[in-house]
Amino acid sequence: MQYQSSVFRTWHRWLGIIVGVQMVIWAISGAYMVIVQLPFIHGEHLTEEADGEILDSSMVNRLPAVLDSYPQATQIHLVNRLVKGEFQDFAQLHSDTGKFLVDLNTLALVELTADDIRDLAAAYYAKGEPNISAVEYLEDVAPSELNERFLPIWRVDFKDFGNTSLYLHPQTGEMTVRRHDFWRGFDIMWMFHIMDYKDRVDITTWWLRAFIFATFAFLFTGTVLLLQTIWASRRKPV
């Protein structure tokens, strides 16, 4: 049998120029995402629970009065949270427009300060001595690592291996989002993997689809060459 050379090899090489680089990028980004464990990426090791125990269960009797003052609430939580340097019981209210803390004694809305956020972040932080480098209130502009729907939010940066950033809810002080360099790396790998270089969410771009189709052709030509060469080397004279 004779092989018409070159058609498959030519195609494989030229497709290689177009698809090959993306194949390498897929391989590198895929390997990173596969090798680095996902819970670690999610930063589950970075934080721990920081709410205190509710010791005075009679506080539950204050809830009807809270609802009287805030009738729009659809859910009510009794919590024990670190505010103004000490753990206190609060009512955390959820309504259709948001969530907030209410002082159980005064029934006043609790406003968290930068110091409160700093204390809470230090309490959430689980990687040893918290070394906070910045506390910042983000109102309008989200960094690329944060979805805009979380705004406004407090960002607390730690000076540690991985440059941890914790994002805390401005009204309740709850741990909302965790970021560190391995997550940021993962996000870049994800961006390269799905080829959405802007928002890193769209997996249906026409160019991604086009590259996948080209990859089929690349694989096909490669397979033909593979079979040809293995076939040829089997009957190659010694």
Site for another protein in 179-238 (CB under 8 A): 203-205, 208-209, 212-213, 215-216, 219, 222-226, 228-238
At its nearest, how many Å lie between another protein and the CB of residue 131?
27
d(CA 151, CA 37): 28
* Positions 57 through 86 that interact with another protein (CB under 8 A): 57-58, 60-61, 63-64, 67-68, 71, 73-80
Coil vs helix vs strand at 59: helix
Tokens of 16: 């290689």
* Nearer CB in complex with another protein: 111/202: 202
* Nearer CB in complex with another protein: 75/129: 75
* Nearer CB in complex with another protein: 24/108: 24
Q: Does 26 bind another protein (CB under 8 A)?
A: yes
At its nearest, how many Å lie between another protein and the CB of residue 155?
25
Neighbour tally for 105: CB within 10 Å: 11
Q: Does 108 bind another protein (CB under 8 A)?
A: no
Residue type for position 202: D
At its nearest, how many Å lie between another protein and the CB of residue 26?
7
* Nearer CB in complex with another protein: 74/106: 74
- Binds another protein (CB under 8 A): choice among 5, 85, 106, 129: 5
Residue 159 · residue 131 · CB < 8 Å = yes
Residue type for position 124: Y
Least Cα distance to 145 among 198, 197, 189, 184 occurs for 184
CA dihedral of 132, 138, 143, 145, whole degrees rounded to 10? 70
Residue 138, beta-bridge partner list: 153
Which phi and psi (to 5°) does residue 79 adopt?
A: -135, 165
Which phi and psi (to 5°) does residue 228 adopt?
A: -60, -50
Q: Does 10 bind another protein (CB under 8 A)?
A: yes
At its nearest, how many Å lie between another protein and the CB of residue 106?
18
* Nearer CB in complex with another protein: 56/111: 56
- Long-range interactions of 153-157: CB distance < 8 A, separation 24+: 153/177, 154/112, 154/114, 154/117, 154/121, 156/117, 156/118, 156/121, 156/132, 157/132, 157/133
Stretch that binds another protein, among 10-18, 104-112, 125-133, 145-153 (CB under 8 A): 10-18
At its nearest, how many Å lie between another protein and the CB of residue 127?
21
At its nearest, how many Å lie between another protein and the CB of residue 126?
17
* Nearer CB in complex with another protein: 114/201: 201
At its nearest, how many Å lie between another protein and the CB of residue 118?
22
